[in-house]
Structure 1
Amino acid sequence: MKSITPLRAALAGAALLIGAWPAAAETLVKIGFASPLSGPQAHYGKDNENAARLAVDELNARKLQVGGQPVRFQLLAEDDQADPRIGTQVAQRFVDSGVKAVLGHFNSGVSIPAARIYAAAGVPQLSVSTNPAYTRQGYRTAFRLVGSDSQVGAALGHFAVQTLKAASIVVIDDRTAYGQGIADEFAKAVQASGGKIARREYTNDKASDFSAILTAVKPLRPQVIFYGGADAQAAPMAKQMKRLGLDARLLGGDMLQTPTFLSLAGDSAGGHFAGIPGGQLNDRPAGKAFRQRYQARFKQDVVRLGPQFYDGMMMVAAAMQQAGSVEPARFMPALTKLSYAGVSTDFSFDAKGDLNKAAVTISEVKNGQWTTRAVMQ
């Protein structure tokens, strides 16, 4: 029998101890996510959540380390119901839960009041809300992942006058912070381009019958009707325009350029326009690859702003790695200075938290599909 010396026994024992030594424990990093996950805007919200979860899962698969410490991200998803009151309650729950960053909210009317809660807690908020007021409140925690209404509305206003040569333009909005905000910016740009707003009308974000409004504006013979609101209302408006014999182009913001508008409007969708902040996914190699991963995972196409939520999560992780910390006070300065090539666009922020450079893509419905008509800077 082979004898075991004291030294050999000691080395064997040490090897056993080393083999049994636990790996460094992961740091759990909570990230808040909020969008409307129920109601008529749930298709936007679910798209946003899918993309955010895809980013979290990809980061966790990489076994990411921050400051030499393994981290695992956990997405806390909440339905804010596109309601400012619910949204502020969600914001407070996120803060109480110890989230390190928030992806959301979707609606400007929710993001604007929620921003105060995140600012008081020092938690960065990365939102796709477009109303200019979101980043004009003076909160250094607010970051906008898309162009603002000032940029999108202005591009659409110039397009209506300079490209479509519309002499009679009607503006309708749903009185939400988003709808009214983008309609205001559109109207300003029309006037700045030498055009004229023939009439301004108002509805709400639950309406589906616009016959009275459209009948009232028909004598004005509008060439363009701008709608500030969502696809669920724009689609029946397009149908009713056709039924009433209104020979006008419907224009709107990013909430119109969706598969939902196409399916709900049917053969009434053709010839209408939408302006979205940023470029087209398929124009960017990383964007095209993202779309393929998204489709493979969720068995559906991207709806609208999910890619920006994906990019937002990736930027939070990149800023944490640069700062070597998951604490907002440490990584937020890195986020402020970050230059990041995302799947949706190239990101860098100005002092207010807005994008330094935001392209606007204007698309037209042709042959039942959204087709790029122009990209404006």
Structure 2
Amino acid sequence: MTATELTELIDIDSTLSEDERLIRKTVREFVSRRVRPYIAEWFEEGISPKELATELGGLGLLGMHLTGYGCAGTSAVSYGLACLELEAGDSGLRSFVSVQGSLSMFSIWKYGSEEQKQEWLPRLAAGEAIGCFGLTEPDFGSNPAGMRTRAVRDGSDWRLTGTKMWITNGSLADVATVWARTDDGIRGFLVQRDTPGFTTSDVHHKLSLRASTTSELVLDDVRLPESAMLPEARGLSGPLGCLNEARFGIVFGALGAARDCLESTLAYAGAREQFDRPIAGFQLTQAKLADTALEYYKGLLLALHLGRKKDAGTLRPEQVSLGKLNNVREAIAIARTCRTILGGSGITTEYPVLRHANNLESVLTYEGTSEVHQLAIGQALTGISAYR
């Protein structure tokens, strides 16, 4: 069963506009041509091809949901559908696009000065420059308020000292949005790659997101001018607002990995014979396929509902938490169930299911762990914060 056939079972296309279907088709064709033939090798060798950035930019996918400055200005649903198709190729590819558009570019677009926007957004949108987002620290992930990275005044300049960890695109980036504690609260700064005292090193020996660059950022008394500060971001609301943008893309993206698992498993089950018949004809296999497809459809309907709310300007952060928690959790369960249908073949890179399952373990954790999203939903339900 193809991707189109999977969605037609609940007639998703009837709910999409012509533009949304065209964007989905364009991204799906790009992934089929430029990612699928090579992704198993990239994953095995730990390669993140930098040259894809300009191709993604040429398609208008980088910061596509933003307006102006070379950005496409698409709907939130269109952006979500693009994320779904990208992650059907690999979570690492969608992560690159999410970090570039929803974290790096969004932080500049939302909180930057006009000069910062003019300098960076057109190049980032075209893929001619790459950005990253430095919030997480070695000892502070779910609790960003505890960050130790510090920015202090030095005349009219700033000096930044600290370390950021698990930064997607870190060593590829031409500019990093770095969040630091100041006497005036948490503020954001744009740090260019060639700034003295700013260094990066990649995280190796990963079992997940291997076709994605993950780095440590080190700021050793980095001197920045006042113009490097994002003027409109003050306090944790700045970085948290960016994270909510990235989480929205994950709500759709995780379903792409799930769909790819379902498609490959359906094809395998129809061709693989045991006891003189295709295993797709056995009741236990069909029960697994039915249950996994059901969760995929429910997640897709949830994603589309949240996307329509985002386009209407009524989407709340706890609703994004609900979408990410459900869809990533179910996507992992789908990948694991599909692996059981593939048997031993499921553990090789010849089939995508275990690669997707491994990747989704990271997706489950970043942009807020499952536990953090459970607490966000719990607070919305009870009116009581369980964080402290």
TM-score after normalising by structure 1: 0.31
User: Could you say which structure has the larger radius of gyration?
Assistant: 1
Q: Which has the higher helix share?
A: 2
